Structure 1
């Protein structure tokens, strides 16, 4: 019998909405205690043991010990993501200073890998909040993620879509985030354990996609057609063979460049 709630970190970004939707609308309410964080805070809470699971930047799988991956689910982009971008006043190979959105962990690693290996530059890095005018006032370029990136004006700027860059480089999709669960998380007394809830939440989200899109239209400002394309074509939620291959390659590069301590095999719930 569970004597403590299963503490779940929820990210209120649009790209995570289909994965979160069931939980936010009462799925497993008797088992789960929801906490709302931005991505980097979610990773910190998972590391400290304040939460038992969350949608976490994929790089954190290498940095936080004793985590398991929920099989079959992720936040990935097959080719072009549109919500993870470097916006630059100069061509990529001329970037000497880069402001990084402090909300993310994986994207800031990916952005630096792409600039180093594809464009031959290692710009000076500054962590900042996602305020594009402030970021560009003192830097050549800004890396932005999520809803802030979707709302950011891009006129007159060079735009590097990081998933598009990765795909052009490797031919693979890019995996931005995973459902990660602490090994010592509470066991739920239901058939299939906790893993079944993550998949059910996603199924509910897919069924409620029109409602998710309508809510996003009011907050982000994109058209319904653009938002539908974003959630069905730019973002993928399936952790398949190509995604696992991409994770292995990303992890290898991240370790080689010093962004994570060591590679480790993917271990699933």
Structure 2
């Protein structure tokens, strides 16, 4: 990586794959550098300024909203079942009062979404312990465990003696809203140094997303090779996700931030600020 490279984060989960699968890396040669990590690692790297742009947990965006802007029309969202964020429980969720809950150490958005669901919607008070995402280990001392991403997808394939709850489905049941789990954020400082390159990268992300929609079968063939599983299950999974970020996703996410603030998980509610490159260009022209 050179000093002039744009450092781009990449979540090593299949739920972001449509934005990257058809990304034309050859176009950018030595101008960009991909850094692959799980969400919690990317969140921390972005906060430290070690990554310029990439998908981060929606909750992490809220924590650093003064430093970031959101790339338009990119997210990992679902209206209803998300298919890869599960609470595995030894008893019905309504009976988890006083329970010990094991939380994956790879997430921020889903961890706080679970806290909102249990406390605000079910009126439950529980205790939490953060652990590595290995379900068998998590459930040795816990009554329920939260897993996300490919860890959750792997666990759900096995015939396990647990009740399983999809957090996206629970959120929609109680609120009627879509839930956005990740946003493509960019550090404001990176915009100053890489504006034109960011425009090209953003366009390439959008192009990959749209091409995936037209050729989903090709991506799923690749997923089957690398991750196994069932073709029909993968089609159902990807068709249940949206990688757009429209007003529908924004409204749902900002309600999530409001709930988080009510429970003291955030210091205050947060409004999402999108990077408006065209407006920025106009302002630059007018002031130059």
Common topology (TM > 0.5): yes
* Contact in 2 for aligned 1:150/1:220 (Cα 8 Å): no
1:120 equivalent in alignment to 2:126: no
* Contact in 2 for aligned 1:68/1:183 (Cα 8 Å): yes
Select the structure of larger CA radius of gyration. 2
1:144-183 paired onto structure 2 within 5 Å: 144-152=147-155, 153=158, 155-183=160-188
1:79 equivalent in alignment to 2:80: yes
Match of 2:241 among 235, 238, 245: 235
User: Which residue does the alignment assign to 1:56?
Assistant: 56
Once residues 218 and 25 of structure 2 are traced to their aligned partners in structure 1, the CA distance between those partners, rounded to angstroms, is: 12
Once residues 168 and 154 of structure 1 are traced to their aligned partners in structure 2, the CA distance between those partners, rounded to angstroms, is: 26
Alignment coverage as a number of residue pairs: 267
Cα deviation, 1:211-264, whole Å, max 9, x if unaligned, reads 3212322444321111011112x2111111211110110000111112222223
Cα deviation, 1:164-207, whole Å, max 9, x if unaligned, reads 00110111111110000000113243694543233123234445
TM-score (norm 1): 0.92
| Higher alpha-carbon deviation: 149-158 or 62-71 | 149-158
User: Which residue does the alignment assign to 1:102?
Assistant: 105
CA-based RMSD of the aligned residues comes to 2.0
User: Which residue does the alignment assign to 2:139?
Assistant: 136
Once residues 158 and 184 of structure 1 are traced to their aligned partners in structure 2, the CA distance between those partners, rounded to angstroms, is: 45
Corresponding residue SS for 2:54: strand
User: Which residue does the alignment assign to 1:225?
Assistant: 232
User: Which residue does the alignment assign to 1:197?
Assistant: 204
Pairwise CA distance, 1:81: 1.2
1:249 equivalent in alignment to 2:255: yes
Corresponding residue SS for 1:59: helix
User: Which residue does the alignment assign to 1:93?
Assistant: 94
The 3 A distance-change label for structure 1 pair 178 and 8 is same
Higher helix share: 2
Once residues 191 and 40 of structure 1 are traced to their aligned partners in structure 2, the CA distance between those partners, rounded to angstroms, is: 23
User: Which residue does the alignment assign to 1:15?
Assistant: 15
* Contact in 2 for aligned 1:23/1:29 (Cα 8 Å): no
User: Which residue does the alignment assign to 2:220?
Assistant: 213
Once residues 157 and 3 of structure 1 are traced to their aligned partners in structure 2, the CA distance between those partners, rounded to angstroms, is: 49
Once residues 219 and 33 of structure 1 are traced to their aligned partners in structure 2, the CA distance between those partners, rounded to angstroms, is: 23
Once residues 191 and 138 of structure 1 are traced to their aligned partners in structure 2, the CA distance between those partners, rounded to angstroms, is: 46
| Higher alpha-carbon deviation: 80-89 or 58-67 | 58-67
